[in-house]
Structure 1
Amino acid sequence: MRVFVTGATGFIGSGIVRELINAGHQVLGLARSDTSAATLARVGIDVHRGDIDDLDSLRAGAAAADAVIYAANKHISETADSAARAQVELNAVQAIGLELEGTHKPFAVTSGVIGRTPGRLLSEETPAVPNTITALRLPVEESVIAMAERGVRSSSVLLAPTVHGECDTRGFISTLIGIARATGISAFVGDGSNRWPSVHRLDAAALFRLAVESAPAGTRLHAVAEEGVPFRDVAEAIGRQLKIPAVSMTAEEASQHFRFLAPLVSIDNPASSALTRERFGWQPTHPALIADIEEGHYFKQ
């Protein structure tokens, strides 16, 4: 297939591009800058200039491909307007969907498992219920899933919150490391027993490939290699690498320490990928989260 990939030079998107090429597919990568275009061209990827704000460019890219993977990501930050970011992404996937309507071409969108069922194991068949964490992002996923009724083989790949691996500069783990470096402590909330699922970026990339190759219309897939890593284990692994103490904090202290991440760090968020593995034969093969942290690549200056 010829696959149009948004976010093709990103942390996850670059892994998807590599996975698709290794499987014999062609890739058309969206590039919004000369730097991104040059990066894609160097590895033999066809370049499509545009941006997720440019709906005409998205429609043209979708029209020129046999499948679409939406791996672009407006990253969370202290200054980002969450509602505006979510609206841009909703506009983008709807524009792609209109172009694909009636073609039965595959369209896989990126989503996430975080915050959906706090304290309870999330499965692929758990109903999606909006809450303060999911409310902004969920409409993007639901919009794509609903395209199954309009002749699009749509699917959603729900990522674990800790997508880890080399070249991670803006993900949760690199952000936690940055906070620990700046403050001199690696913190967790309470006893740190709350669990975060994890997945290596290259294992996630393999699941995106499987989604466009074989996921039925309206399918949710869980890119979750580990159901739940205790947050304290993550903090202690970071502390060992930085040679700083891992420290328990109250929720009030954490709100100052973790800043914009504070609402997330105490969530207990286990998630299963049992159905995804059974249905699609997906088997993660890359290092688990703590082992990946201990490899040391996150800490090279």
Structure 2
Amino acid sequence: MRAFVTGGTGFLGANLIEQLLADGWQVIAMHRRGSNTNRLQQQGVELVEASLADVDSLRIAMPENPDAVFHLAANTNLWRGGNAQQWRDNVEGSANIARVARETFARSKTAGRLIATSSIGAYGYQSGRIDERSPKLADDPRHGYLYTKKRAEEAVRAEIERGLDAVFLNPCAIVGKYDTSSWAQTFFLMEKDQLPGVPPGKGSFCYVGSVARAHIDAFHKGRCGENYILAGRDASFLEFFGRIAALLGKPAPKRAMPAFVIHAVGWFSDLWSIASGCEPVITREKAAMVTKRVVASSDKAVRELGYQTDTDLDTMLRECYDWLVEQKLLKASA
């Protein structure tokens, strides 16, 4: 089996490629100029340089007869100063890769399939537990990440209408090894005693190994045009950060910061960014994300893909912590 992967240098991409190789797949990983490809080179992955913004470069990079295209690349910016680039990366980029995948599958006459990694963010903020029947409410352009993830799905659906076979996966908050920019940042801040406070939100946390496996299972078992939400263990940020503190040998935070304080910081920080042109640590988008309750159900993915939700929060966080220590990005706690 031959897989073409975008976003292979990222957190989830590294875990997916590791599992694809273990299953005997041939992997061709697309990367942008300047990306760190050391891990992929060590794994013997075939590397191709291309840009999601350049359809011609995608056509050159795409192998002639791929069985699967795993589109993981995404811009996760949470600051309005990056919204224009985020639209190009997430929406126009998804449209381009879907178009090239459809053309390639048609030309090679293979029964190829695109697995599009979306996000629970495409459903927007909702008060109840989200499942695939929930409306997608990410329609406020001020929340650029959520807004573009919904429209990235719509761009891929336009190619489904032209004959593309594609499946959508919507992970929640992913935790595990190879993370340096997501929840790993919380480890770094807490290790240095620089965490300004614990947000009052709540989320569904999913294990990266299970999310990666769900991508492969979606290729084999998913239904064209369907969404599959990948959740896991529900926890408040107070509980989540407390477990990170325990791994680091730090005192557990005792209370969450009021939501209005975080929103006020985000609002004033955004005003400052207009003058400075620099992204603030807390933006209004980040403030919204960490003060909301975003919990979801994986029942459909469990039923149709065999998605595994049995990894507990401590195991997810321990894997992330152990890998960061192994890479000398964190000091081992006493």
1:156 partner letter: F
Residue 56 (structure 1) aligned with residue 56 (structure 2): yes
Residue 150 (structure 1) aligned with residue 175 (structure 2): no
Counterpart of 1:28 in 2: which secondary structure?
A: strand
- Identity of matched residues, %: 20
Q: CA deviation at 1:148?
A: 2.3
Residue 273 (structure 1) aligned with residue 283 (structure 2): no
Counterpart of 2:46 in structure 1 is: 46
Tell me how far apart the structure 2 counterparts of residues 259 and 242 of structure 1 sit (CA, whole Å): 26
- Runs of 5+ unmatched residues, structure 1: none
8 Å CA contact retained: 2:169, 2:228: yes
Quick check: 88-97 or 199-208, which moved more?
88-97
Counterpart of 2:95 in structure 1 is: 94
Aligned length: 293
Residue 199 (structure 1) aligned with residue 211 (structure 2): no
Cα deviation per residue 1:174-217 (whole Å; 9 max; x = unaligned)?
2333444453554133xxxx420111111111011112223221
Counterpart of 1:166 in structure 2 is: 177
1:168 partner letter: D
* Structure 2 counterparts to residues 93-132 of structure 1, below 5 A: 93-101=94-102, 103=106, 105-114=112-121, 116-132=124-140
Distance 1:245 1:67, change over 3 A: closer
Cα deviation per residue 1:207-235 (whole Å; 9 max; x = unaligned)?
11112223221011112122x21222112
Tell me how far apart the structure 1 counterparts of residues 132 and 138 of structure 2 sit (CA, whole Å): 16
Q: CA deviation at 1:141?
A: 1.5
Q: TM-score, normalised by structure 2?
A: 0.78
8 Å CA contact retained: 2:6, 2:30: yes
Counterpart of 2:30 in structure 1 is: 30
* 4+ long deviations beyond 6 Å: none
Distance 1:25 1:85, change over 3 A: same
Q: CA deviation at 1:245?
A: 4.9
2:244 partner letter: I
Tell me how far apart the structure 2 counterparts of residues 174 and 262 of structure 1 sit (CA, whole Å): 18
Counterpart of 2:7 in structure 1 is: 7
Q: TM-score, normalised by structure 1?
A: 0.86
More strand by share: 1
1:243 to 214, 230, 250: 250
Cα deviation per residue 1:73-96 (whole Å; 9 max; x = unaligned)?
223255851232122222222122
- Runs of 5+ unmatched residues, structure 2: 267-280
Q: CA deviation at 1:153?
A: 1.0
Counterpart of 1:66 in structure 2 is: 67
2:313 to 267, 273, 289: 289
Counterpart of 1:157 in 2: which secondary structure?
A: strand
Tell me how far apart the structure 1 counterparts of residues 155 and 80 of structure 2 sit (CA, whole Å): 26
Q: Give the CA RMSD over aligned residues.
A: 2.6
Tell me how far apart the structure 2 counterparts of residues 100 and 32 of structure 1 sit (CA, whole Å): 18
Quick check: 244-253 or 138-147, which moved more?
244-253
1:231 to 228, 237, 252: 237
8 Å CA contact retained: 1:203, 1:284: yes
